[in-house]
Amino acid sequence: MYQDKTLTCKECGNEFVFTAGEQEFYAEKGFQNEPQRCKNCRDARKNASKAQREMFTTVCARCGKEAKVPFQPSNDRPVYCSECFAAIKEQQ
């Protein structure tokens, strides 16, 4: 029923493929219009409105490596790097 279509991005001018699967998804959701921007331009537009998180640098309480976290660490609780945090979560 649906066939891949090649569209031109109105933002960057590059061609992109509007796949049959994407067309079916749009139809299921009731979207009336085809996408006007390629995935990269859609993502860039979406992320432009998001505030960038301030990251804080600290030392992992388990392995001692440097860790970046999206909150101000306090001395009353341990802070872990992503690898150690995942390992701890796995053990629980």
Same domain, 21 and 38: yes
Structure confidence by residue, pLDDT tens digits, 55-83: 999 999 999 999 999 899 988 899 999 99
Same domain, 18 and 43: yes
Same domain, 13 and 42: yes
Same domain, 43 and 60: no
Query: 38: buried, middle or exposed (CB in 10 Å: 19+, 13-18, 0-12)?
Result: buried
| Residue span of the structural domain in which 41 resides | 5-48
Number of domains in the chain: 2
Structure confidence by residue, pLDDT tens digits, 26-55: 999 999 999 999 999 999 998 887 777 889
Contact between 24 and 2 (Cβ < 8 Å): yes
pTM summary value: 0.53
